[in-house]
Amino acid sequence: MTSEALVAGLTLLAFGIIVAAVAFGSAIGDGIVASKAVEAIARQPEARPNIFTFMFLGVGVLEAFPIIGLGLGFYLLLSVANVPNLLTHLH
């Protein structure tokens, strides 16, 4: 196995692990935020606009981390290792 193939394969594996981890974590976090918001609205329906405001604040803050993870993953894949370039030179 050439070193280019090794680098390309390991970078693709790292990219998959990064994306899977951030998707897993943010899905759990979003689910907790949404379920608590639904509980709060069921308990106090008249506070619904306020709860929606803070639910979107929570989702917005939370959504930043998977996006940052995805951005750094793409940076690793396309800029640092340049996997598409490596794959075209493989064979």
Partner 1 sequence: MHEQIGEHILWQWPVFGTVHADTIMTTWLVMIISLVFFAWVGASYRSAYVSKRQTVAEGVINYIADLAMSTLGERGEPYVPFFISLFIFIFLMNQFGIFPFKVLGLPFGGSPTADINTTLPLALIVFFLTWIVGVRMNGPKQFLHVTKPNVLLTPINIIEELARPATLAARLFFNIFVGELLFIIIASIITAKVQIGPLNLSLAVTVVPFLIQFFNFFVGTVQAFVFTLLAIVYLSLATAEDH
Q: Which residues bind partner 1 (CB under 8 A)?
A: 53, 56-57, 59-61, 63-64, 67-68, 70-71, 74, 78-79, 84
Distance of closest approach, residue 76 Cβ to partner 1, in angstroms: 12
Q: Which is nearer to partner 1, 13 or 64 (CB)?
A: 64
Residues 6+ apart with CB under 8 A from 29: 62
Q: Which is nearer to partner 1, 23 or 57 (CB)?
A: 57
